[in-house]
Amino acid sequence: MILRLINIALILTIVMNSSCSKSDDNLDVDLSKYNYDNFEKLPIDNYIYNTLTKPYNVEVVYRFDRSHTDISKNISPPKIEKVQPAVDMILKGFIKPYEKLGGERMIKEYTPKQFVLFGSHAYNDNGSVTLGTADGGRRVVLYDVNNISEANGTDIQRRLRTIHHEFTHILNQMVAIPPSFRTITADHVDNWLAAENTDAEAKRLGFVSRYSRSSFGEDFAEMVAHLLIEGQTWFDNYVAEIPDAKYRDRIRLKESVVKEYFKSYFGIDFVELQDEMKRVLTNDYLVSFPEDKTKELHFSLLQNKVSTIRYTVGAEYLTTHGDPSIIKTLLQNAQIELRAVGSVTANGLIDHIEFRFTNQEEMTLRVAFRTAAGGTIYSCDYFFKMNINPLNGDINFIKSVNASGAHNSGTNAQYTNPGFEKYILPYLSARTFVASWLPTSIPSTSPLYRTFGGFYVKGTPTNYIYGPIVLK
């Protein structure tokens, strides 16, 4: 059932915490230049009429009128030369994309019919600034217009996030947020600016911003705005960096509700709307969007997609792509220890070591050897915990035990333990590694690209181990 909430005199706002102060804005303005009482049409009025009012029935108010904002706030009108860039941004970054994907009905029925522009920030007592408000399903108020810069893509993105956030509130007044969205998470806070509600904490709990935690309505609007303006790749990267799978699942559920909301109630393919916004921001405002971090190796490990990585002594791929000298020497030393055990392994050879990933938190290291060249391969497994930092790919391997309290499988441990304990274990457990597609010399155009991978010591990329990757 669609819940329609029309004719509600509701004012919704988007605010942000800011280091700027009132002294940063010039609030002492000569209002005679705006001829509010003795109206004289300016060139910008013709531009607004031909660009927005005539084709879309959208009014832009830039002449100072306190009735459009909180009368208790010190605030100034926009500079005349900043009005057109604001109008162009509204048209290109908001109206046109919705017109293209939602059609004439979307423009006629849902888009706000009045945009009010103020030049300065609107400062709040809690140290935040108001970026915009949506009023009664008809009006959007935008602040800080005097600082708009079409040459600064990041600035335009921030402003368009505000517009799309506020428009989402208007849509929610027409068609209520689905109840399923409200039940996904209850981790909202009374004071979203509280010191404990950091960006990192909000992210950990599956919110797209600190402000999202202020209410489920703001959470929904922030999801829409970030998905549209920051883009899907940014969002996927953001989600992948959330440590706990429970909260990754929650924010993905919210994403699915948002996309279904637009499809079911407004007939808009949200992915196509995202693509259109990306095209506008790229072409008109030269915005650079992030690369897809989710394709990095440590995310594959976090998502439990990797089965094994094997370094094989003397393998052909090492001759072709490079054999790291530190690992080569380390295994030669381990082999000396293997041969010193006794007559059985007097001519023993270390064949390979293999990282075997049980899940995103557990790894078994297999040390494999032969008693003589060309002979049968024997092995012993050693158990480790893995701590993977989703933000930068840092990995620490920590010695662990199995259910029986043993660090190794027991089989053949008498032969591999001396070299493992003396060389391999200290190497793995005493360093922080970074997961990476190695070697870096394989270009993205090669069919071998991202078929090899491994770990290098953080801060020392020449100290690494790698091999062919087998995925689950």
What pLDDT is recorded for position 91? 97
pLDDT digits over 51-95, tens only? 999 999 999 999 987 667 666 667 888 999 999 999 999 999 999
Strands 349-357 and 362-370: antiparallel
CA 396 to chain centre: 24
Beta-carbon contacts of residue 309 (< 8 Å; ≥ 6 apart): 354, 355, 453, 454, 466, 467, 468, 469, 470
Quick one: which of 296, 308, 326 has its CA closest to 465? Answer: 326
| DSSP codes of every residue in 373-400 | TT--EEEEEEEEEEEE-TTT-EEEEEE-
pLDDT above 90 for 395: yes
**CA distance linking residue 238 with residue 199, whole number of Å:** 12
Say what the pLDDT of residue 10 is.
Answer: 39
Rg (the chain; Cα; Å)? 30
Long-range contacts of 265-273 (CB under 8 A, 24+ apart): 265/2, 265/175, 266/102, 266/106, 266/110, 266/171, 266/175, 267/102, 267/103, 268/98, 268/101, 268/102, 268/106, 269/101, 270/227, 271/232, 272/101, 273/97, 273/98, 273/101, 273/228
Q: Residue 360: pLDDT band by 50, 70, 90 thresholds?
A: very high
Kindly provide the b/e burial profile for residues 177-200, where b requires at least 16 CB atoms within 10 angstroms of the residue's own CB: bbeebbebbebbbeebbeeebeee
Q: What distance in Å separates the CA atoms of residue 402 and residue 302, rounded to the nearest whole number?
A: 21
pLDDT bracket for residue 5 (50, 70, 90): very low
The Cα–Cα gap between 241 and 243 comes to 6
User: Which pLDDT does position 38 carry in this prediction?
Assistant: 57
Q: Are 114 and 53 in contact (CB under 8 A)?
A: no
pLDDT at residue 129 greater than cutoff 90: no
> What is the per-residue DSSP string for 65-130?
-GGGS-TTS---PPPHHHHHHHHHHHIIIIIHHHHHHHHHHHHHHTS-SEEEE-SS-EE-TTSEEE
pLDDT beyond 50 at 4: no
- The CB density around residue 160, as the number of other CB atoms within 10 Å, is 24
CA distance 173 to 217: 11
Entry pTM: 0.80
Statement: residue 20 has pLDDT above 50? no
What secondary structure, in 3-state letters, does 305-325 show? CEEEEEEECCCHHHHHHCCCH
Angle, in degrees to the nearest 10, between helices 245-266 and 270-285: 90
> Poorest-confidence range of 11-20, 36-45, 231-240, 428-437?
11-20
Whether 211 has a pLDDT exceeding 80, the answer reads yes
Write down the pLDDT at residue 18: 45
Domains of the chain and CATH, by start = 11-291 (3.40.390.70), 298-471 (2.40.128)
